[in-house]
Amino acid sequence: MINWEAHACLPLHPQADFSPLDRLRDAGVHYVSVNVGMDMNPVPQILSVIAAFRATIAAHPERFALAGSIADVEQAAAAGVLAIGFDLEGAMPLLEQPEMVAVYRALGVRQIHLAYNRNNSVADGCHDVARGLTPLGSRMVQAINDAGVLMDCSHTGRRCSLDIMAASNHPVIFSHANPLGLIEHGRNISDQQIKACAATGGVVCVSGVSAFLGTRTPTAGDVARHAAYVADLVGVQHVGIGLDISFRQDELNDNPPGDYDPAYWWPKAAGYDRSLTRMTYTPVETWQILSKALQDLGMSAAEAAAVMGDNMLRVASQVWHRPHT
């Protein structure tokens, strides 16, 4: 059994403290995907973050391992070490060059989605005007498939996500998304999107963010209820966990340089009150009690284990092949 946290956030700063990831490991997590940049972050900032994160991981082999393969994840779990991969949230760091996907993969990026809330030249964000996947976007999906990187549709517009799932040759995931059928929010995904994801063989990983769960004080029970909704709709084999905990470190300013407007990326009209300041998260310790919460809703122990990581392990095993050279 591998517990797989599909998305977490440290400050996008070279001096980010990794001790929150120790808490994830101590709570039973074996693999975590850590964000290294979003559409609003310029490439120099992202590369600085990747370089620093890689150096921190390498300096502490007793705590962390940069996972390049499923074998790395399994070996780290056996050794009591937390396996880490990176993810990009949005296509703007790809500089409109599909060839950039392989570059980021070589640096440790193992999943990418193509838009962060707002439209770009590749794809639509979930809080913007619907257009659909662009021709460049189709080439990006192919590049992500070819590089052996997980194709993620979180933060993506509904119509555009359906285009991406139709274009992908590999299973597609939502690394941190919740069912619209339970909570009305622009970041949540429709039954149609959930079914399309399952049809690719993919996984919808439920987020633990308060606004998307519909409560100010989210608990393991709230996460389990959303996971059960997806399982009832498409089968337990298509459900995962991406709590999306943002480990803020107030002493570090990780804002993008220059003219950065948070209200553009997290618009109040889309359901954000004072941007992200009111967001709360399920605690790290959710991982210790989530299996019971899932079983309390009728899942077997094996089904709970599938949701908590084995489903994502299966999909990553299919996708993380060595890229063509």
Q: Report the chain's terminal Cα–Cα distance, integer Å.
A: 32
pTM (predicted TM-score): 0.96
Q: Where are the beta strands (DSSP E) in 229-323?
A: 239-241, 245-246
Summarize the confidence of residues 164-171 as an average pLDDT.
98
CA dist 281 → 51, 147, 202, 265, 273 (Å) = 28, 32, 25, 19, 16
Q: CA 198 to CA 165: how far, in whole Å?
A: 10
- Residue 325 lies inside a defined structural domain of this protein: no
Within-domain flag for 190: yes
How much is the average pLDDT of 112-117? 97
Q: Which residues pair with 64 in a beta bridge?
A: 82
Q: CA–CA separation, 132 vs 126, rounded Å?
A: 11
Mean pLDDT of all residues belonging to the chain = 95
Band (pLDDT 50/70/90 cuts) for residue 14 is very high
Helix (H) or strand (E) holding 287: helix 286-296
Higher-confidence residue of 271 and 215: namely: 215
Please report whether residue 324 resides in a domain. Answer: no
* DSSP string computed for 169-199: SS-EEESS--BTTTS--TTSB-HHHHHHHHH
| pLDDT given for residue 322 in this prediction | 57
Q: How many CA atoms lie within 13 A of 295 on its CB side?
A: 9
Q: pLDDT grade, residue 325 (50/70/90)?
A: very low
Q: What is the CATH number of the domain that holds 94?
A: 3.20.20.140
23 has pLDDT over 50:
yes
User: What is the per-residue pLDDT across 41-69, written as a single tens digit (0 to 9) for each?
Assistant: 999 999 999 999 999 999 999 999 999 99
Tell me the two tokens of residue 266.
């997290």
Residue 100 pLDDT > 70, yes or no? yes
Number of domains in the chain: 1
- Beta pairing partners, 150: 111
Is the predicted pLDDT of residue 296 greater than 90, yes or no?
Answer: yes
For helices 191-199 and 220-234, give the axis angle rounded to 10 degrees. 70
Task: Please name which of 120, 118, 117 lies closest in space to residue 140, comparing C-alpha atoms.
Answer: 120
Nearest to 287, CA basis, from 232, 206, 229, 228: 206
In a domain, 297, yes or no: yes
Determine the 3-state secondary structure of 88 from DSSP.
strand
Q: How many CA atoms lie within 13 A of 114 on its CB side?
A: 38
Whether residue 196 lies inside any domain: the answer is yes
Measure Cα distances from 32 to 3, 83, 142, 206, 296 in Å.
9, 6, 25, 14, 25
Tokens of 167: 């274009």
Q: What is the CA radius of gyration of the chain?
A: 18
Task: Flag whether 284 is in a domain.
Answer: yes
Amino acid 258: pLDDT: 86
**Residue 259 domain boundaries:** 4-319
Which token pair is 177?
């998304």
